[in-house]
Amino acid sequence: MNTHENNFRSEALKNFYKETQETEKEIPITTEQPSLLDEDVKESRPDSCTCICADTNSSCLYSSSRYNENNQSTSQELQDLILNHPDLQYLNTDLLSDGIFSFALSFIRNHLRLAGERAGENLVFSPLSVHAILSILTSAASPDSQTQIELLNSLGTLNNINSLETLYASLFEDYSRMGETLKIANGIWSPPSLKPGVNTSFIDHISKVYQSTYEFLDADVAKDNINYWVNNRTNGKIKSLFDEVAEDFILLLANVVYFKDSWTIKFEEPFEDEDNYFTLMDGKKVKAKMMERSSLEFQTGIFDYGRIKNIKTVNIPYEGFDRRFEMVLIVPENHRELGFIQAELLSFNSMDNIFQMALASLTTDYDYYLDSPTVVLPEFLIETKLNLNEILKKMGIRSIFSDASLDKIGHDLTLKVSQVQHKAILEVNKHGTEGAASTGIEVIPLIGNLGAPTSVKANVPFLFFIHDKQRKIPLFMGQVMDPRV
């Protein structure tokens, strides 16, 4: 963020603070970022916080999920004011961005808790895909029902369905203009026998908000038709989403996120032979297909880079849409460090959002000719398939699996979610990146019950994410433990 923009945002927030003093006695405005694993920060957290950061690239010091009951109404009033305040329109997308980043961190934490030995495997998933399809389910939930409350609490900083829908409508309208670089699709299906009971006005509403389609499908063709729908919208990267579909299904929901873009400047083979090796978590060095690039050699595609204690961070821009998208690498100093980060994520007093902290650490404030970093990165192809039922339960979304209140859709039936499936694939090479993700939900009737680095070498296990710089939306996230797999 440049100095002019930062000053504007800080001044806007100060004006906003003056206008809302009667609503909220104190709104802390902070530009300070906690250090990774900072125990003093953890111990000093209050039980609740209503905080708007002057630097919106920084992660909030306190998790909004810890609001107590008395603060929830005040928090919503602040959200409504932000959504309508002319000087704070840039914060609109930040509310959704913060929510998705918060959701993504909780998702990874609970995936690691359930993964066991699989925590040491490669991983890729799309926070946007999972968050968006759960938002559609939230829109279908009965107002103030346990189903809607649990879903809203899990989706991050937004705790009001109207705000959530407003922000998603804006996001998907924007992304509909991205052509072949970024494609988003949402679909909903029901059996023809339920056609008379469908709430058509609600279907029209969510179609406009989420740009979703709604169709009727017989159970015997539902699986093949939806898998074809997914395959077609991911350019063949994900050939099937559902392995099976229940004969008595009531609703099927599917979401697709597809991304393809080229680096501003393509990578080359490493100059040094030692840079062709990747060190695994156990210390074993393996030969991998590595690639190298330095921004000093070019007039475009300059890297931002930074440091969070013993972790190096760097962004690598893509060329499409005025370099709107970028990959951010979070690279530990040694091969064991990612294991320590995972252990910290699993603790109850876990770190603040490492992904947002990585964004906040990035800077171009360095001598371009003396300190321009060299990036060494492995080519990799990662594919992940996850059943999300248990992960979502760990995240506090439980009622949908036993008694889902989805009355808005129009069916007078007692329902439950039987399966939530997620598939993602990401290919990174010297030319650029291609990734696809799809999330599917099946609903059935309920029966029964540190100094700037001069180079960043991702030759040890590392984290990554691909995001939209303008809206700060994370499209894909993951970890590379072994690029050969």
CATH code (residue 465): 2.30.39.10
Same domain flag for 311 and 192: no
Pick the more confident residue, 197 or 236.
236
Predicted confidence (pLDDT) per residue in 374-427, tens digit: 899 999 999 999 999 999 999 999 999 998 999 888 767 789 999 999 999 999
- What is the Cβ-side half-sphere exposure of residue 170, based on CA atoms within 13 angstroms? 17
pLDDT at 170: 92
Q: How many CA atoms lie within 13 A of 27 on its CB side?
A: 22
Mean pLDDT, to the nearest integer, of 146-171?
90
List pLDDT tens digits, range 332-386. 988 888 888 888 777 655 556 788 888 888 876 555 544 567 899 999 999 999 9
Answer yes or no: do 300 and 213 share one domain. no
Percent above pLDDT 90 for the chain: 54
Q: Say how many CA atoms lie within 13 Å of 46 toward its Cβ.
A: 10
Asked if residue 78 is part of any domain, the answer here is no
Do 289 and 389 lie in one domain? The reply is no
| 294 shares a domain with 188 | no
Structure tokens at 155: 């989706």
Same domain, yes or no: 235 and 122: yes
With a cut of 70, say whether residue 301 has pLDDT above it: no
The answer to whether residue 298 is domain-embedded is yes
Q: What pLDDT score does 2 carry? A: 43
CB 59 within 8 A of CB 33: yes
Residue 62 lies in a domain: no
Report the pLDDT value the prediction gives residue 311, as an integer from 0 to 100. 87
Q: Are residues 216 and 276 in the same domain?
A: no
Beta strands in 263-371 (DSSP E): 277-279, 285-287, 290-294, 305-308, 311-317, 325-332
Sheet holding 123-125, edge to edge: 123-125, 473-480, 462-468, 325-332, 311-317, 305-308
Residues 286 and 348 occupy one common structural domain: yes
Residue 165 has pLDDT above 90, yes or no: yes
**What average pLDDT does range 108-112 have in this prediction?**
92
Angle between helices 127-140 and 200-210 (to 10 degrees): 160
Q: How many other CB atoms are found less than 10 A from the CB of residue 26?
A: 9
- Note whether residue 64 is domain-resident: no
* Element holding 347 (H helix, E strand): none
36 in a structural domain: no
Q: For residues 257 and 272, state if they share a domain.
A: no
Q: Which of 189, 195, 163 lies closest to 83, judged by CA? A: 163
CB 473 within 8 A of CB 463: no
Number of H helices, E strands in the chain: 14, 17
Q: Are 190 and 226 in contact (CB under 8 A)?
A: no
- pLDDT(483) > 60: yes
485 and 286 in contact (C-beta within 8 Å)? no
Q: Is 38 domain-assigned?
A: no
CATH number at residue 254: 3.30.497.10
Give tens-digit pLDDT for 179-228.
999 999 999 999 999 888 888 899 999 999 999 999 999 999 999 999 99
**52 and 91 Cβ atoms separated by less than 8 Å:** yes
- 311 within a domain of the structure (yes/no): yes
Same domain, 300 and 315: yes
> Residue 116: how many CB atoms within 10 A of its CB?
8
Answer yes or no: do 330 and 409 share one domain. no
Q: What pLDDT, in 10s, does the model give residues 432-474?
A: 999 999 999 999 997 644 444 557 889 999 999 999 999 999 9
Distance CA 475, CA 483 (A): 20
* Shared domain check, 115 and 182: yes
- Amino acid at the residue 445: P
The domain of 325 spans 263-379+428-433+451-480
pLDDT band at 306 (very low <50, low <70, confident <90, very high): confident
pLDDT at position 188 is: 96
pLDDT digits (tens, 9 = 90+) for 31-78: 333 334 343 333 333 333 323 232 333 333 223 333 334 444 444 555
Give whole-number Cα distances, 11 to 84, 145, 179, 235, in Å: 17, 39, 36, 45
pLDDT confidence tier of residue 9, bands split at 50, 70 and 90: very low
State whether 361 and 306 are in the same domain.
yes
> For the segment 15-25, what is each residue's pLDDT rounded down to a tens digit?
544 444 444 44
Q: Which tokens is 289 given?
A: 């297909």
Instruction: Give me the number of domains the chain comprises.
Output: 2
